[in-house]
């Protein structure tokens, strides 16, 4: 710099002139502006300057202040050079040329600094000025244009002083660049790189003498503040596309006026007030959707609407949807539920627990709702509910939460008018929108209003279901000039040019205007920013270094952040966010802080270099390790870590373990997008396949398992994919395909020593053998599954194997052994909370208890199993539970109840597409028809069912249905054929219930037909089948058959009456009428030879 007294050049770091000793100008360390000697604050950017040196011993070196990292910034770059410089260099004496160029640089540097820019470098005769870095202003582009115009004035002045014509070319471009600190011989400076720099330089070269050429981006930023004309599109070297260029003609200094907290929106307020009045007076609700661009004032208007609702006696419950950085339990519906239950959205866990307990103590909610309320309030499930929750399918959990949420809303609406508020719905996921649709139904029938806010992009109005209450859409337009002026006057007092310019630049966006005026009111500038990012950076640049680092770190966490996480990132546990709250950059929320607006967060985040973003995201990922698997995965993803795919796998597994299948699916699919290697892709594909199968998309899951096979990498992955294929094929009844897959999987599992997988393989194969009647194979496979599960120490696999062993012994007719294994299975389920396995096996306890003649307990078990299965959404288990209950109710002669159970089961089977259960259920319906005397209808139903059974399930239920057909027919030949076909199927291998039921039906049908010998043969066959492990049920019917087959004799009536009493005691009421009739005939020593099947009307 030159001394102001003697004009001697001095090094920048000097404070006093080396020639005359005079005090030199003070250069600002932030923006490089040269200030007058003695100034305490910079005239370029307003920061405090270092105190002038005193004549005292130099203090010891202080620790170096923290250096700021490079940033991505929106800047305006100016290049200016002299026209005809080569000619000047040949015409002037070198000493004269040096003096001219020195003065030229001095004046241009001062001009750039005076407008708040920074001289980045001198290149030959060119000056490169940067506006927006290292300190941004509200109107950097306009400042640069004014410098460009003033450069020509300076050159006119110098022409007069130096006695020769001096002209220049100026080029100006705006855009994103990277600014990086650099050190030159102890001077802390910065470098700017990017396409914008090249473009500005090229425009300077293309400009004519005396011209200022600007890029289209600069023109868009300065707009009506300048006079300009288009030069057209130019092809510029180094720029891959033609560039539209403008010539600056001058500046225009006329513009609008002032701003404030909330103004205007009178029409919107009136419409909403009318909704409130109508709702309160008529008891009919309304859904209101406020829609508009970011920063247009949706949140501010919402605050006013909430105030009006409160003044009108409405209760208000509000929440918002976050796009990123939200932990589990922080979504909009959960927040509304907390507000409804606790009176505030951010209640502590203790407050939530106390409020929930009070609801049930008062009877406000029935006890069975606790599980779903705990989910909504993000409360831990008690031990007794974990198994139940584990057993539920996703649709049941979602429906349960929705039902409780709706009930809470209905109860709130029954007490007083209610306003529900959900902001930023454009970020809502499908489940949240479904819950809001359900809430709209409550609103429709209540004195309530549902107020939603959304950006135009992602607005829910385009996907709102036609059958729901359509929202009243209020589209927020930009503020008018008068409203903007009113807002400005409320924010600052007095009249000034900068307020007019703020209004012009904000263009009706209240957020832009508020931020502009707040910033401008604290500085000496009178100009406006070129973009929201520049606006944010302009405010951020004036913060202390520590605060700037903190706000940048917070932007990486997300719109909402936890103070502990921020402290971790910046390494300072004492940092206080309150000053940033006072600066209107942050808002305090109950459990942390939020950015005042998402655009502020976005602007700060965009300023970070990719390397810095990666670094902070990875540091955050380490912070979330063990705290939140989903956020850890997201930050690893944004940190471009190769750990991200498997982190998404871990996060998806965590979500799936709590039945958040939609969330898990999103996580696993993002992991797949990032996965490169087979060891990453394979497990993600497998989990996605499992999720889809659980959600009912079986065919889609099969396609994914086949995709794993195409990777052909890790044998363990291939093994697991084969198992997944087999599981899907089992659901879709491709039994042969499933068995083939299991054979291939077993070969791999054995070779690789995959114990857990082998347990699963043997269990699935045993389950496939069961309906086919391969009894020995079923037992062998489940025994192997149990051994592998024990060896691997996997209780869940062991529970599956125990259930399989129960099935195997049931298939062999060994009911006592089966009962023991099922009890052991259920005990393990209760101990570890395997609710899904319990729901799938509980009905089998009821089934085996039938054959133990414990019908009262069996009925209780069957009905409880049906209720549990319905509660958790396990439709297959509910079907079997209801058909089991139907059999028992038939024995009790409670035919209408039996018919009701069968019809419920048929409806479920139809919805599930589980056709193999329909013949079972139709058998119950047929027996009821027979008892009503509608034997023809019964036969037709049985014969139609047998068409399917003979093709698909002969060994599973064929003999049972054939036995019932033998009972229903009056044709002796048809009866004989049905029983013969049934016995032929038994000989080929069938599940044990076929032996029990065919022979019991054979005894009944033959006794009714007077074919005593055939009846006794069936009794003998059943006795032989159950000899290894007799069952009380079969023992009773064998004894009954033999008693009924005897001719009347003295003392025989007592045996018959004893059997009738036994039947009454155990619940086999349908077996009593024939016994009592025979006892009466015996007492008269009369035998007519006629016999009616059990329970049939005469």
Per-residue pLDDT reduced to its tens digit, 596-628: 776 688 888 888 888 888 999 999 999 999 999
Q: Do both 412 and 303 map to the same domain?
A: yes
Query: Distance between CA 918 and CA 862 in Å, rounded?
Result: 18
Report the DSSP beta bridge partners of residue 121: 128
Which string of DSSP letters, residue by residue, matches 1082-1094? Answer: HHTT--------T
Alpha-carbon distance values, 425 to 317, 370, 421, 442, 460 (Å): 15, 28, 10, 19, 7
**DSSP conformation class of 507:** T
3-state secondary structure of 383: helix
Residues 6+ apart with CB under 8 A from 321: 331, 332, 422, 423, 424, 425, 426, 427, 428, 432
pLDDT digits (tens, 9 = 90+) for 661-699: 888 999 999 999 999 988 888 899 989 998 888 777 878
Q: Do both 241 and 381 map to the same domain?
A: no
Last residue of a domain, one of 718, 753, 788: 753
Is the residue at 1070 inside a domain? Answer: no
Q: Judge contact between 607 and 601, C-beta under 8 A.
A: no
Q: Do both 211 and 188 map to the same domain?
A: yes
Any idea which of 73-82, 177-186, 558-567, 710-719 has the lowest mean pLDDT? 177-186
DSSP H or E stretch at residue 965: helix 954-968
Last residue of a domain, one of 788, 808, 833: 833
Q: Do both 302 and 351 map to the same domain?
A: yes
Q: Which two tokens stand for residue 1042?
A: 């033999």
Residues 6+ apart with CB under 8 A from 743: none
Domain extent, residue 690, equals 640-648+659-753
Is the bond leading into 353 cis (omega within 30 degrees of zero)? no
Q: Do both 142 and 182 map to the same domain?
A: yes
Burial letters 92-104, b for 16+ CB under 10 A, else e? beeeebeebbebb
Decide if pLDDT at 299 tops 80: yes
Q: What is the CATH number of the domain that holds 171?
A: 3.30.70.1230
The pLDDT value recorded for residue 364 is 87
Q: Do both 749 and 766 map to the same domain?
A: no
Query: Distance between CA 233 and CA 239 in Å, rounded?
Result: 12
Q: Do both 114 and 170 map to the same domain?
A: yes
If one compares 748 and 599, the residue with the highest pLDDT of the two is 748
Last residue of a domain, one of 431, 460, 475: 475
Is the residue at 844 inside a domain? Answer: no
Q: Do both 76 and 149 map to the same domain?
A: yes
Query: Distance between CA 573 and CA 567 in Å, rounded?
Result: 5
Q: Do both 14 and 143 map to the same domain?
A: no
Which string of DSSP letters, residue by residue, matches 174-231? Answer: EEEEEEEEEEETTEEEEEEESHHHHHHHHHHHHSPTT-EEEEHHHHHHHGGGEEEEEE
Q: Do both 94 and 212 map to the same domain?
A: yes
Nearest in space to 990 (alpha carbons), one of 1019, 1018, 967, 961: 961
* Alpha carbon 397 to its chain's center: 15
Q: Strands 168-184 and 212-215: what pairing?
A: parallel
**Ramachandran quadrant class, 48 (left: phi over 0; alpha: psi -120 to 50; beta: rest):** beta
Which string of DSSP letters, residue by residue, matches 719-758? Answer: HHHHHHHHHHHHHTT-HHHHHHHHHHHHHHHHHHT-HHHH
The pLDDT value recorded for residue 328 is 40
The pLDDT value recorded for residue 256 is 31
Report the DSSP beta bridge partners of residue 128: 79, 121
Is the residue at 190 inside a domain? Answer: yes
Is the residue at 489 inside a domain? Answer: yes
Query: Distance between CA 26 and CA 33 in Å, rounded?
Result: 8
Half-sphere exposure of 192 (CA within 13 A, CB side): 29
Is the residue at 976 inside a domain? Answer: no
Decide if pLDDT at 642 tops 90: yes
Percent of the chain residues topping a pLDDT of 90: 48
H runs (alpha helix) in 658-794: 661-674, 678-694, 698-711, 715-731, 735-752, 755-772, 775-792
**Mean predicted lDDT score pLDDT of the chain:** 85
Unique residue bearing structure tokens 């998309």? 697
Is the residue at 725 inside a domain? Answer: yes
Which string of DSSP letters, residue by residue, matches 305-329? Answer: HHHHHHHTT-EEEEEE--SSSPPTT
Q: What is the CATH number of the domain that holds 360?
A: 3.40.50.300
pLDDT digits (tens, 9 = 90+) for 468-507: 777 899 998 888 888 888 787 777 766 667 677 777 767 7
Is the residue at 557 inside a domain? Answer: yes
Count of structural domains, the chain: 7
Is the residue at 523 inside a domain? Answer: yes
The pLDDT value recorded for residue 129 is 95
Q: Where residue 898 falls among pLDDT bands split at 50, 70, 90?
A: very high
Report the DSSP beta bridge partners of residue 226: 251
DSSP H or E stretch at residue 120: strand 118-123
Q: What is the CATH number of the domain that holds 745?
A: 1.25.40.10
Q: Do both 737 and 708 map to the same domain?
A: yes
Q: Which two tokens stand for residue 382?
A: 């008690």
Unique residue bearing structure tokens 């939200």? 326
Q: Judge contact between 447 and 277, C-beta under 8 A.
A: no
Whole-model pTM: value is 0.64
Q: Do both 397 and 339 map to the same domain?
A: yes
């Amino acid at each position: 710099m030159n001394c102001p007294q003697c004009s001697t050049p001095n090094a920048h770091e000097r404070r006093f002139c080396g020639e005359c000793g005079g005090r030199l100008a003070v250069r600002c360390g932030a923006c490089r502006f040269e200030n007058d000697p003695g100034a305490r604050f910079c005239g370029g950017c307003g920061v405090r300057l270092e105190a002038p040196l005193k004549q005292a011993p130099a203090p010891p070196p202080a620790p170096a202040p923290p250096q700021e990292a490079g940033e991505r910034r929106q800047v305006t770059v100016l290049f200016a050079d002299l026209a005809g410089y080569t000619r000047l260099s040949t015409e002037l004496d070198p000493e004269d040329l040096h003096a001219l160029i020195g003065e030229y640089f001095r004046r241009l540097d001062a001009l750039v600094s005076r407008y708040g820019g920074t001289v980045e470098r001198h290149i030959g005769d060119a000056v490169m000025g940067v506006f927006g870095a290292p300190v941004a202003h509200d109107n950097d582009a306009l400042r640069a244009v004014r410098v460009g115009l003033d450069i020509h004035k300076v050159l006119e002045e110098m022409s007069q002083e130096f006695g020769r014509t001096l002209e220049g070319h100026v080029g100006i471009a705006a855009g994103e660049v990277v600014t990086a600190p650099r050190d030159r011989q102890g001077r802390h400076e910065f470098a700017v790189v990017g396409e914008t720099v090249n473009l500005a330089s090229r425009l300077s070269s293309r400009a004519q003498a005396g011209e200022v050429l600007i890029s289209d981006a600069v023109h868009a930023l300065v707009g009506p503040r300048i006079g300009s004309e288009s030069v057209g599109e130019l092809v510029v070297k180094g720029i891959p596309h033609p560039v539209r260029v403008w010539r600056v003609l001058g500046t225009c200094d006329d513009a609008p006026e002032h701003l404030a907290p909330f103004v205007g929106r009178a029409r919107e307020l009136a419409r909403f007030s009318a909704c409130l009045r109508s709702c309160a007076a008529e008891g009919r609700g309304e859904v209101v959707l406020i829609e508009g661009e970011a920063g247009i004032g949706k949140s501010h208007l919402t605050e006013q609407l909430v105030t009006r609702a409160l003044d009108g006696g409405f209760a208000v419950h509000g929440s918002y949807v976050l796009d990123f950085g939200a932990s589990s339990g922080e979504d909009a519906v959960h927040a509304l539920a907390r507000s409804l239950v606790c009176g505030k959205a951010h209640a502590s866990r203790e407050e939530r627990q106390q409020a929930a307990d009070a609801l049930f103590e008062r009877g406000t909610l029935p006890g069975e709702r606790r599980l779903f309320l705990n989910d909504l309030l993000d409360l831990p499930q008690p031990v007794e509910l974990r198994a139940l929750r584990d057993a539920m399918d996703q649709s049941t959990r979602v429906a349960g939460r929705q039902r409780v949420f709706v009930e809470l809303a209905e109860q709130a609406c029954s007490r007083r008018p209610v306003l529900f508020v959900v902001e930023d719905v454009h970020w809502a996921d499908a489940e949240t929108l479904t819950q809001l649709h359900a809430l709209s139904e409550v609103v429709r029938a209540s004195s309530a209003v549902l107020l939603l806010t959304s950006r135009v992009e992602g607005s829910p109005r385009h996907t709102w279901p036609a059958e729901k209450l359509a929202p009243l859409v209020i589209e927020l337009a930009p503020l008018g000039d008068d409203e903007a002026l009113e807002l400005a006057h409320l924010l600052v007092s007095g009249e000034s040019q900068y307020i007019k310019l703020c209004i012009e630049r904000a263009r009706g966006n209240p957020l832009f205007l508020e931020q502009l005026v707040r910033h401008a009111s604290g500085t000496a500038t009178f100009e406006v920013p070129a973009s929201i990012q520049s606006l944010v950076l302009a405010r951020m640049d004036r913060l202390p270094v520590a605060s700037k680092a903190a706000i940048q770190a917070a932007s990486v966490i997300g719109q909402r952040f936890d103070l502990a996480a921020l402290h971790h990132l910046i390494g300072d546990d004492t940092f206080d966010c309150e000053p940033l709250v006072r600066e209107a950059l942050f808002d305090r929320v109950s459990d942390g802080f939020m950015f005042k607006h998402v655009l502020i967060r976005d602007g700060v985040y965009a300023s970070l270099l990719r390397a810095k973003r990666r670094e902070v995201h990875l540091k955050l990922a380490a912070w979330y390790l063990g705290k939140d698997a989903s956020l850890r995965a997201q930050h690893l993803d944004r940190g471009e870590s190769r750990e991200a795919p498997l982190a998404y796998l871990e996060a998806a597994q965590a979500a799936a373990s709590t039945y958040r299948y939609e969330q898990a699916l999103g996580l696993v699919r993002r992991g797949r997008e990032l996965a490169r290697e087979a060891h990453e892709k394979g497990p993600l594909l497998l989990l996605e396949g499992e999720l889809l199968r659980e959600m009912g998309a079986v065919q889609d899951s099969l396609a994914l398992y086949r995709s794993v096979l195409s990777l052909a990498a890790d044998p363990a992955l291939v093994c697991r994919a084969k198992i997944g294929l087999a599981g899907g094929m089992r659901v879709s009844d491709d039994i042969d395909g499933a068995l083939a897959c299991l054979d291939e999987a077993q070969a791999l599992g054995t070779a690789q020593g995959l114990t857990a997988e082998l347990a699963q393989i043997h269990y699935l194969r045993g389950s496939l053998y069961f309906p086919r009647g391969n009894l020995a194979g079923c037992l062998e496979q489940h025994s192997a599954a149990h051994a592998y599960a024990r060896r691997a120490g996997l209780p869940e696999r062991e529970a599956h194997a125990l259930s399989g062993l129960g099935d195997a012994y049931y298939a062999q007719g060994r009911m006592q052994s089966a009962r023991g294994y099922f009890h052991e299975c259920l005990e393990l389920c209760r101990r570890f909370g395997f609710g899904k396995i319990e729901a799938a096996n509980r009905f089998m306890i009821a089934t085996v208890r039938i054959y133990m003649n414990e019908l009262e307990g069996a009925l209780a078990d069957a009905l409880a199993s049906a209720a549990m299965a319905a509660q958790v959404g396990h439709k297959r288990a509910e079907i079997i539970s209801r058909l089991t209950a139907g059999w028992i109710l038939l024995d009790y002669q409670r035919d209408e109840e039996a018919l009701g159970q069968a019809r419920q089961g048929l409806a479920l089977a139809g919805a599930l597409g589980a056709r193999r259960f329909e013949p079972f259920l139709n058998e119950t319906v047929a027996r009821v028809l027979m008892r009503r005397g509608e034997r023809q209808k019964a036969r037709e139903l049985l014969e139609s069912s047998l068409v399917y059974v003979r093709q698909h399930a002969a060994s599973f239920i064929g003999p049972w249905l054939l036995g019932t057909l033998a009972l229903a027919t009056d044709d002796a030949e048809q009866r004989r054929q049905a029983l013969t076909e049934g016995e032929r199927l038994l000989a080929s291998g069938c599940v044990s219930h076929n032996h029990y039921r065919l022979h019991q039906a054979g005894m009944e049908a033959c006794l009714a037909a007077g074919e005593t010998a055939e009846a006794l043969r069936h009794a003998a066959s059943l006795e032989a089948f159950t000899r290894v492990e007799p069952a009380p049920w079969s023992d009773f019917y064998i004894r009954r058959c033999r008693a009924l087959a005897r001719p009347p004799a003295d003392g025989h009536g007592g045996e018959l009456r004893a059997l009738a009493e036994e039947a009454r005691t155990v619940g086999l009421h349908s077996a009593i009428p024939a016994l009592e009739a025979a006892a009466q005939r015996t007492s008269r020593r009369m035998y007519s030879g006629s016999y009616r099947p059990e329970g049939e009307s005469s």
